[in-house]
Amino acid sequence: MDTRIYGNVAAHGGGGIMVDNRSRAQIANVVIEHNSADHGGGIAVRSGASAFISDARIISNIANESGGGIGIWHDRPVVVVTNTVISDNYGYHAGGLSMWEPGGTFTGTNLLIVDNRSGPGPAGIAMWEGSGGRLMNVTVSGNDSASGFDGAEIEGPAGGFSIVNSIFWGNGADGGNLGGSNLNVNYSDVQGGFAGIGIISADPLFVDAANGDYHLQMASPCVDAGTPVGAPTHDIEGTPRDAAPDMGAYERRRFRIFLPVTLKHLGL
């Protein structure tokens, strides 16, 4: 990571970074850690602004209201996040990521949203009031709400919010792993099940979730279970995805076998 934004405090929004007033920001190769604000403890995007976030670690930030990691609101903001870890954040109404704005859009690809905490709101992802967009190859696990929805609660627009090749598993016991309205969920592993094409409900067999390792074991049912349609060519770490991509942020690395070659002179 090229930049670290650490230990800042904002009175209203954007403890680490604020993108505001129809501005446009590209945020890449950055660690945003231990910042705090009322909304968007790590990053806040509001008032028609656009933010393109890639290869970031948004960790251990606090929001007194919503969006411990990222908070998005007001006047149709557009946010695109790729290859990013959102973990160990706290927000009273939403721990990892929150968006509340009709007409706003969020696109997330190769995201690890884990071990976030909240009060009565969703701990992992909260998207309200018809926020639109898509999640592709996202892992949502280990998030825990004190009394609300633990994994992701998304109220999509009339046309639907799309979720593909993703894992929602092992979030707290209070309020489930994935819920909401107007969701189009396909080729995903959802604990408790969900209506859609290619849905499974089976332990994804993370390598060591208790210690923060959300890679897939070789025997994981999520290996080769995704769809290549619209999938990224590489995973969150840059590992190539093949024609049968895995569900979640990480692609299972294939072993390479190198056989010795012996050259013999035949005396011809």
For residue 235, give Cα distances in angstroms to 34, 45, 89.
26, 25, 23
Convert the pLDDT of each residue in 205-262 to its tens digit. Answer: 999 999 999 999 999 999 999 999 999 999 999 999 999 999 999 999 865 444 454 5
Convert the pLDDT of each residue in 54-76 to its tens digit. Answer: 999 999 999 999 999 999 999 99
Exposure of 64 in the CB half-sphere (CA atoms within 13 A): 10
What is the chain's mean pLDDT, rounded? 93
Distance of alpha carbon 202 from alpha carbon 73, whole angstroms: 35
pLDDT of residue 33: 99
Alpha carbon 252 to chain centroid, angstroms? 18
Distance of alpha carbon 55 from alpha carbon 134, whole angstroms: 18
pLDDT above 50: residue 36: yes
123, 145 in Cβ contact below 8 A? yes
What are the φ/ψ torsions at residue 210 (nearest 5 degrees)?
-60, -25
181, 161 in Cβ contact below 8 A? no
Convert the pLDDT of each residue in 137-146 to its tens digit. Answer: 999 999 999 9
Measure the CA dihedral 184/63/250/149, to 10°: -40
Quote the tokens at residue 256.
Answer: 């390479």
pLDDT of residue 147: 82
Q: How many CB atoms lie within 10 A of CB 181?
A: 13
What amino acid occupies position 39? H
